[in-house]
Structure 1
Amino acid sequence: MPRTPMFSEPLHVGRPNVGDRDRLLRLINDALDRLWLTNNGPLVREFEEKVAERAGTRHCVAVANATSGMQIAATAAGVRPGQEVIIPAFTWIATPHAMEWAGMVPVFCDVDEESGTIDPEHAEKLIGPRTGGILGVHVYGRPCPVDELTDLAGRHGLSLLFDAAHAFGNTYRQRPVGGFGTAEVFSFHATKFVNSFEGGAIVTNDDGLAERARALHHLGLGPGREIVSRGTNARMSEIHAAMGLVSLEITDELMEVNRRNEQWYRDGLAGLPGVTVRPQAPGERANRQYVVIDVDERAAGVHRDAVHDALHENNVLSRRYFHPGCHLSEPYRAAPAVHAPLPLPVTEALTERVLALPSGTAVGSVEIAGVCEIIARTVTGPRGV
């Protein structure tokens, strides 16, 4: 007979955080009264100003989603179709897909064991005559080795971009994530730390890149509506910007909720053999949107997937971020000589160990205690140590 799940309702890794509903509805009603719902309306401009202020950058171009933002950022940075872009294989598939869709060639790099972010030494081995750029990913919000990558890109004359989908509000060397490299791209998807229902933003201190990106995301139209380049439609609407503005207002509260949840997980899993909570960067501000555990099969006595399965049986919808590595997903695994010319052992080891757990405002101490109990029962069961 099937067991009754511990939780009657699913616990998700990424439930949306919703701010002041009354304020959101007022902003939406104001937009409806103005009959200005898209095409760089006042709410979008206000949202861009506030995102740029938080990121410490001169420019922000709000976009429909981060995937289109990465396509536009790479194009605006001068990476051409057919050129290679070095990307960590340990990321969500949207990162390489964005480059592939823009006609560029993702080449996968291995990552650092501790941080899960791109390994600059390995990246340098992949640079060749067709390389046009490097696209680092701030994995789980933990910043890439920005200084090393900046030096590497500078020595080889490459554009340096960052997928900062997880990292809004975080810092690197006490500076806000957003102003590094040629440009960075945030995600404001419904499940992210700050959400605009669906959306993203390109942030940069490069005046020319910002001007090109603004035209590219608006069908190639310049400030006077003249056609200045090719382009696409990746504009953010007023309704999405309204949600983003309301979400920005609760970031301090959300950071505290996430910090508290992470600590409850650390306390609840303390002493459990083979199970650790992956840390954020020491001494830096972090939004802690993701709580990710590492399951060492030899010490825990079970593979990560056994923990994952046990959680799902109890309605805890943990996620194996990121399994498999991008180089082992289509269409890239079909052409390893093109996309992954060197072994990626760290990536492949991490994808077998990590597991993202529910956090955010949708869970509290009771739910987290239950999740930890399920993990403990699995790890210390008949197959445990």
Structure 2
Amino acid sequence: MTLTLVPPITPLPAPPRPLDVLGVPGQVNLDYAASAPCARAAADAVTELLPWYASVHRGAGALSRRCTLAYERARQTIGDFFGARPGDHVVFTRNTTDALNLLARCLPPGTTVVTFAGEHHANLLPWPRGSVRLPVPESPAGAVRALDAALTELRRGTHANPPVLVAVTGASNVTGERWPVAELALVARRHAARIAVDAAQLAPHAPVDVAALDVDYLAVSGHKLYAPFGAGVLLGRGDWLDAAPPYLAGGGATSHVGSATHDVRWASGPARHEAGTPNLLGAVALAAVCAALADEDRAALHATEQALLTRLREGLAALPHVVELRTFGPDAPRVGIVSFVLPGRDSGDVAAELAARHDIGVRDGLFCAHPLARRLLAEAAARGGRTDLPPTALRASIGLGSTAAHVDRLLAALAELG
């Protein structure tokens, strides 16, 4: 009898999942807070639609009809994902910066905007003169108290209740620390103010529901949310948006254009602010990621990320030559972002060395939040009694696709640099 040896069976690779992220083998990407990698769901949605690509809202052919349907379904999917209410508009923009600039253009005359000095430039620079910029608080509870005091002062002695908008981040792009959005919204409501949330850093890491939070406006970037195809969203109450002049004047934003120069009737709803050929592929990609995230166990995703974040922060704390930056206490809730410095080392040089010698990508600089980053660097120097901290910082950020091996590789590289 001849014995036939059966070769060992090689297990088949696991089928790709919608929330798998694309990447380059060997490269460790720890710069998610700047631009997250592309999710397979986004890439697949774009690939599927590309053969059908045609104009949106402007054609009777089969391709145009299909693209129009895909675009409006994307709007609905994104609105549902973020808890849009009846009367809310979902306006496609380029990114969070574009969305907040759009909102700034739609403020009623005389609106006062209240922000904190810890905001990203996108939530500092668009607002009109006369806006109130509150100091960076020492705690989430301090933020709530500061806002309450500021709004009390604004309303003092007036019975007209002029428009007030509170504009706040959901999570800091410098430290990852989460801001008490729901509590700030309660304060805003008590003072008859509206509230807008920059969710660029919060939305990729945690569920965001405008109805549950009771906020008026939400700004989001697709490139932070694993859909890097140039689309963002401003979602929120339609009355200010419908009353304002169009963000861009052009085709698609009008319901009538006559022969006379000023014979124009502008559209209402999202179309009013979406003149020109829209970014169909960006909208569809962002909707695909929203749909994929909605089908996942968000609590499990959050727990996995928090375990990696703890591993990263504890590893950095164990390195005597690394100083972490923070606004609140060390145990404040946060998303997967950590900023830090190496005393005596230029942050740009460290980032370049990590890339050249270890194939690790991190961010260096002041992260488009110059007032906050400079303040945190000064506070870190004062806490440690140091005079050798560099003028800029390093930032490592994680998300879907990040692993313990990625975190450990960064920690080992930083230990070697020390």
- TM bin, normalised by shorter chain, reads 0.5 to 0.7
The one-letter amino acid paired with 2:352 is: H
- 8 Å CA contact 2:91–2:233 kept in 1: the answer is yes
The one-letter amino acid paired with 1:185 is: A
Shift of 1:238: 1.1
Shift of 1:17: 2.2
2:125 aligned counterpart, secondary structure: helix
Distance 1:92 1:234 in 2: 28
Identify which of 239, 258, 270 aligns with 1:208.
Answer: 239
- 8 Å CA contact 2:308–2:403 kept in 1: the answer is yes
**Identity, % of aligned positions:** 18
Q: What do the CA deviations read for 1:208-237 (whole angstroms, capped 9, x no partner)? A: 346457965675946678326886748742
The residue correspondences of 1:182-221 to structure 2 (distance < 5 A) are: 182-188=216-222, 190=223, 192-204=224-236, 206-209=237-240, 211-212=242-243, 216=247, 221=253
Aligned to 2:115: 87
Aligned to 1:298: none
Aligned to 2:49: 27
Q: What do the CA deviations read for 1:49-95 (whole angstroms, capped 9, x no partner)? A: 1112121122322223222211222444x343x75422222232222
- 8 Å CA contact 2:362–2:395 kept in 1: the answer is yes
Aligned to 1:310: 350
1:186 aligned counterpart, secondary structure: strand
- 8 Å CA contact 1:291–1:359 kept in 2: the answer is yes
Q: What do the CA deviations read for 1:147-176 (whole angstroms, capped 9, x no partner)? A: 44334434544332111111226658xx73
Aligned to 1:299: none
Q: Is 1:292 matched with 2:374?
A: no
- 8 Å CA contact 1:184–1:202 kept in 2: the answer is yes
- 8 Å CA contact 1:24–1:246 kept in 2: the answer is no
Identify which of 73, 76, 85 aligns with 1:46.
Answer: 73
Distance 2:45 2:108 in 1: 41
The one-letter amino acid paired with 1:180 is: D
Distance 2:340 2:210 in 1: 25
The residue correspondences of 1:59-138 to structure 2 (distance < 5 A) are: 59=88, 60-76=90-106, 78-80=107-109, 83-99=111-127, 103-114=128-139, 119-123=143-147, 124-125=149-150, 128=154, 132-138=164-170
Aligned to 2:415: 376
2:309 aligned counterpart, secondary structure: helix
The one-letter amino acid paired with 1:119 is: A
1:17 aligned counterpart, secondary structure: coil
Larger radius of gyration: 2
Unaligned runs of 5+ in 2: 1-24, 55-60, 156-161, 258-264, 382-390
Shift of 1:262: 2.7
- 8 Å CA contact 2:30–2:361 kept in 1: the answer is yes
1:314 aligned counterpart, secondary structure: helix
2:185 aligned counterpart, secondary structure: helix
Distance 2:163 2:348 in 1: 38
Q: Is 1:158 matched with 2:197?
A: no
Distance 2:378 2:244 in 1: 35
Calculate the TM-score normalised by the size of structure 1.
0.67
Cα gap change, 1:41 to 1:264, in 2 (>3 Å): farther
Aligned to 1:337: none
Q: What do the CA deviations read for 1:351-378 (whole angstroms, capped 9, x no partner)? A: 9796421434565443322211233345
Aligned to 1:341: none
Aligned to 1:336: none
Aligned to 1:245: 287
Aligned to 2:180: 145
Calculate the TM-score normalised by the size of structure 2.
0.62
Distance 1:326 1:66 in 2: 18
- 8 Å CA contact 1:92–1:322 kept in 2: the answer is no
Distance 1:345 1:68 in 2: 26
